[in-house]
C-alpha cells in the first residue's frame, strides 16, 4: 500500500475479558469464555454462548454511560475508550467514527416490540458511542453481518489513503439478542456443545458478543503527535462469494479473493504470512469452505491457522475487530492463540494450530458474513 496505515490504539471487550490485559491472559492460558447463558433474557437455553461477563448496569458503571443505552453501545463505549486512551486521545474531536453492527439495539427493541420507541437502529447505536466521547465530526455504520467490523476497518483505511481523514476510529460492537439467538437457531447452525472449529465432529457455532475498536492513523499524523504505532494495516481485501444468502461456496471463492487482494495490496507472497486468524465459526459449511480457500492461497505449505471462536463464541458483527486485537496482541507478544477444542482431523479442513510461542511479522485476519460478504485484513509488525 502506497500510504502506510498505522494502528495507534486498540480496545476490546469479549467473553474472555474486558481490555487487552484480561484478553491476553485468557488467550495465553487457553481459557474459554463460553458457557450457559446468564445475562441475556431469552427462552432459549439449549445453546451455550460467549457472553461478556458483565450486566448492563455493570457495563454502564464501568464506562460512566447511561444503563439505558443498548448493550451494543455500552460495550462499544468501553472498547473505544481503551483504544482512544492507548492512542493518547481523550475524545473523538476531529476523528470520524466508523462502526460495524447488525443487531444494533435489538436487545432493547425486542423487549418493547411492537413499540419501536425510541428507535434502536444500527446507526443509533454508533451515534450513542460517538456522543459519549463528545461527538465525532461524523459517524457511519457498516452492516455486512459478521464482517461488519472488518469492513469498518477497510473504509476507515480508505479515508486515510484518500486524504479525507488523518485519524479514524474503526471497529464494531454487537450484543447478544434473543432475536438472533433464535435466528441462528432457526438456521440450525448452533451447537449445543462448545464449538470445535475445523474438527471432524464440529456441529455448529456458539454465538458470542463484544466490541473492539482500533485507532487508524496516517504516518504524518503519527510523526506530528509523536506516538508509537502498535502495528500497521499493510493490506486488506473485501470480496463477495455471490453464492448464497447464508451458505458459503464449496471452493471458498469469496474468502480466496479477499485474502488474495489483501496479499497483493501489501505486496506480500503467501509464504510471508506467519499466522492466519481464521473466521472458523465451527459450522460444517464455513470451515470446509474457508479451508478450501486457504488451500488455494497457500498450496501445500499452509502457515499456522487458528480460529479463536472457541474462546469467545462467534461475536458476529464485532468479530472482525475483536480478532484483529487478538492478532495485534499475537504480533506484539509473539504467540499464536490456540484453536481450542480441536481433536479429530477432517479431510475437508486444514489442521489448525495448537498455539504457542512464535515470532510473527505478518498476520492475516479473516471475517466472513452472511451473503458472502468476505473480508481479510493483513497486519504487519
Partner 1 sequence: MMRKVYLHARCELHSGDPEPDYRSLFSVLEARRMGRLLKRAVWTSTQALQQAGIGVPDAVIIGTDFGCIENSESFLKALKGIDDAPLRPTHFMQSTHNTISSLIAIRLGAHGYNATYSHRGRSFESALQDAWTQIALGDIDNALVGWFDEMTPLLSDSLVRQGIEPKEHALAVVLSANPEGAVSELTPSDF
Site residues (CB under 8 A) for partner 1? 102, 104, 109-110, 113-119, 121-124, 126, 138-145, 151, 155, 158-159, 161-164, 178-180, 182-188, 238-246, 253-254, 257, 369-373
Of 115 and 301, which CB lies nearer to partner 1 in the complex structure?
115
Residue 84 phi, psi dihedral angles, 5° rounding: -65, -45
CB of 307 to partner 1, least distance (A): 22
CB of 61 to partner 1, least distance (A): 28
195 has catalytic annotation: no
Of 109 and 324, which CB lies nearer to partner 1 in the complex structure?
109
Helix then strand count (H, E) for the chain reads 12, 15
CB of 116 to partner 1, least distance (A): 4
Residues 6+ apart with CB under 8 A from 164: none
CB of 283 to partner 1, least distance (A): 14
Of 86 and 174, which CB lies nearer to partner 1 in the complex structure?
174
For residue 294, CA distances in Å to 40, 244, 339, 350 come to 35, 20, 16, 8
Rounded CA gap, 189 and 280, in Å? 13
CB of 135 to partner 1, least distance (A): 14
Q: Out of 18, 279, 327, 365, which one is annotated catalytic?
A: 279
18 has catalytic annotation: no
H-type alpha helices, 299-359: 309-312, 319-333
Of 48 and 104, which CB lies nearer to partner 1 in the complex structure?
104
299: helix, strand or coil: coil
Rounded CA gap, 207 and 204, in Å? 10
Q: Which three cell numbers stand for residue 181?
A: 439467538
Region of 197 please: left (phi>0), alpha (psi -120 to 50) or beta: beta
CB of 101 to partner 1, least distance (A): 8
Of 252 and 355, which CB lies nearer to partner 1 in the complex structure?
252
Residues 6+ apart with CB under 8 A from 55: 39
314 has catalytic annotation: yes
Rounded CA gap, 146 and 157, in Å? 19
Of 94 and 138, which CB lies nearer to partner 1 in the complex structure?
138
Q: Out of 120, 180, 314, 362, which one is annotated catalytic?
A: 314
Q: Which three cell numbers stand for residue 57?
A: 448496569
Catalytic residues: 146, 279, 314
Amino acid at each position: 500500500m502506497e500510504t502506510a496505515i498505522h494502528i495507534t490504539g486498540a480496545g476490546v471487550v469479549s467473553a474472555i475479558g474486558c481490555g487487552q490485559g484480561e484478553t491476553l491472559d485468557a488467550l495465553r492460558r487457553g481459557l474459554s469464555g463460553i458457557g450457559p447463558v446468564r445475562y441475556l433474557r431469552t427462552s432459549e437455553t439449549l445453546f451455550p454462548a460467549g457472553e461478556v461477563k458483565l450486566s448492563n448496569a455493570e457495563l454502564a458503571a464501568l464506562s460512566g454511560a447511561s444503563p439505558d443505552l443498548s448493550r451494543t453501545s455500552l460495550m462499544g463505549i468501553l472498547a473505544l475508550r481503551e483504544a482512544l486512551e492507548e492512542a493518547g486521545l481523550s475524545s473523538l474531536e476531529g476523528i470520524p467514527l466508523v462502526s460495524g453492527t447488525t443487531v444494533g439495539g435489538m436487545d432493547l427493541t425486542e423487549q418493547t416490540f411492537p413499540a419501536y420507541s425510541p428507535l434502536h437502529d444500527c446507526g443509533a447505536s454508533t451515534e450513542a458511542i460517538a456522543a459519549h466521547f463528545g461527538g465525532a465530526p461524523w459517524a457511519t455504520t457498516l452492516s455486512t453481518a459478521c464482517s461488519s467490523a472488518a469492513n469498518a476497518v477497510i473504509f476507515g483505511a480508505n479515508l486515510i489513503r484518500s486524504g479525507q481523514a488523518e485519524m479514524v476510529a474503526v471497529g464494531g460492537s454487537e450484543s447478544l439478542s434473543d432475536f438472533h439467538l433464535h435466528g441462528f437457531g432457526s438456521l440450525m447452525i448452533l451447537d449445543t456443545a462448545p464449538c470445535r472449529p475445523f474438527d471432524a465432529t464440529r456441529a455448529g457455532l456458539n454465538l458470542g458478543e463484544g466490541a473492539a475498536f482500533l485507532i487508524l492513523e496516517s504516518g504524518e499524523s503519527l510523526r506530528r503527535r509523536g506516538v508509537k504505532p502498535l502495528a500497521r494495516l499493510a493490506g486488506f481485501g473485501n470480496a463477495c462469494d455471490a453464492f448464497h444468502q447464508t451458505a458459503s461456496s464449496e471452493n471458498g471463492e469469496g474468502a480466496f479473493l479477499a485474502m488474495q487482494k489483501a496479499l497483493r495490496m501489501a505486496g506480500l507472497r503467501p509464504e510471508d504470512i506467519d499466522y492466519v486468524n481464521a473466521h472458523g465459526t465451527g459450522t460444517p459449511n464455513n470451515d470446509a469452505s474457508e479451508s478450501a480457500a486457504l488451500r488455494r492461497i497457500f498450496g501445500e505449505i499452509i502457515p499456522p491457522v487458528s480460529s479463536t471462536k472457541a474462546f469467545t463464541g462467534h461475536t458476529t458483527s464485532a468479530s472482525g475487530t475483536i480478532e484483529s486485537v487478538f492478532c495485534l496482541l499475537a504480533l506484539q507478544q509473539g504467540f499464536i492463540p490456540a484453536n481450542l477444542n480441536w481433536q479429530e482431523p477432517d479431510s475437508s479442513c486444514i489442521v489448525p494450530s495448537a498455539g504457542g510461542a512464535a515470532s510473527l511479522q505478518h498476520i492475516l485476519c479473516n471475517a466472513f458474513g452472511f451473503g458472502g460478504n468476505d473480508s481479510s485484513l493483513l497486519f504487519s509488525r
